[in-house]
Amino acid sequence: MNENVMRAYYGSTEGGTNLTAYRDRMLSLFQVLEPAVNVSTQRLSDQVRVIQRNHRLDDAALDRLRLEMLSSPMVTTSSHSAVPPPPSGGVTPRSNLVDGDEDNRAVTVSTQCNERVRSALEDAIQEFRYSPVENRPRLPRLPMHRQNRALVCALDSLLEKYFENSEDLLDTHSIMYCAAVAACRVANVKFPDSNRATRPKSAVPAWQCRIERRIEGARVLIGKLYCFREGNTRPRVMRFVRRAFMGTGLSPHEYMPRIAERIDFLKQKVCAWASRIRRYKRRVERYTQNRMFQSDQRWVYRTWERPEQYVMDGSRPDDGATNMFWRNLWSTPVFHEEGDWTRDVERECEQIPEMEEVNITSSDIACAVRPMQNWKSPGPDGLHNFWLKWLQSSHPV
């Protein structure tokens, strides 16, 4: 039965090449092969995926079934028999017209889509190919699904003639940028507004903001307690005083004898929170340095040496001191004496063949861009890694 499922699939898709509206044709072919089995189109399509993914049939069997159905007359017969005859009145039902013209309509839609892609690409080429990089809009992120994937592939097939006339690497990247603009326009993806000011990211971490809010609140309570000790009993002040003594179990007439103790308690909390901020900052700095030391040791050493190298008062070094510094480096002759080990190294290196010329191929480019993340921040050309991966016609260039 699995073989008959694949026979129906290959017969309805012309060997797996034409996947346009094939499910109804596949069901009609399967009913001819298995008349006793009652199955839906969805169940039949699911079974095809199960056979292909789980390798229920080996490659040799699948090739045999594909060749068998491509040369079988049953395909055309079943496809014609799948359409019922028109009624006696001579009027063809609308459903039959839709089933019979579905392939032609799909071809028409595909042709219209290709024309739209070609037109959008030509407009983008005329608009942005030779424009300065700083005047180009920032590319949005293209949602990746089946329709957009087909759009990018169709766009990639149109770029070969443009890449053949590419002048240099800058022009090649400009063509790829125009292709990305065309894809976003056809997919109706909105471009970000360049005039709208982006909100700057907060440089202060969230934990520090929370602790600083606590410190600010405690300082407000300390100030209100000082006002209360000086005799200010207005309702606005008393509201903060009650908040300061909240949780102590004291009555309002006991606030004044205990106010010095409460002020000292709040001051100690402020001191403890400030100490916590300093401790957390040292911990974050230590973690950052440990993480950066594993990837960029030079950055860590430069960070340690930077405060000693810079002039804090803003004054520049004296001209005479600067000239003397560089004169001691470059004007003093230095004589080197080569030892016997240099000649030994030269004799050993004579037997080493020269490195062959490096030829970068399209497969090397594909392997280099494959592990890159798609939507990382782009470089000066404005192209994300996604376009370097999917516009494969640019790899030979």
What's the pLDDT at 77?
Answer: 46
- Angle among Cα 15, 16, 22 to the nearest 5 degrees reads 105
What would the pLDDT profile of 153-169 be if each residue is shown by its tens digit? 888 888 888 888 888 88
Q: CB-based burial of residue 130 (10 Å sphere; 0-12 exposed, 13-18 middle, 19+ buried)?
A: exposed
d(CA 44, CA 51): 11
Cα four-point dihedral sign 242, 243, 245, 246: positive
CA dihedral 220, 226, 229, 231 (to 10 degrees): -80
SS3 for 294-350, per residue?
A: HHCHHHHHHHHHHHHHCCCCCCCCCHHHHHHHHHHHHCCCCCCCCCHHHHHHHHHHC
What's the pLDDT at 181?
Answer: 92
311 CB contacts (<8 Å, ≥6 apart)?
317
What's the pLDDT at 132?
Answer: 86
The whole-chain average pLDDT of the chain stands at 82
Question: Are 162 and 208 a contacting pair, CB within 8 Å?
Answer: no
d(CA 294, CA 308): 24
What would the pLDDT profile of 201-255 be if each residue is shown by its tens digit? 557 889 999 999 999 999 999 999 999 999 999 999 999 999 999 988 888 888 9
Over 80: is that where the pLDDT of 338 sits? no
Average pLDDT value for residue range 2-15: 88
d(CA 255, CA 240): 12
Pick the more confident residue, 336 or 369.
369
Give the residue carrying structure tokens 């520090």: 208
Over 60: is that where the pLDDT of 106 sits? no
Average pLDDT value for residue range 272-300: 90
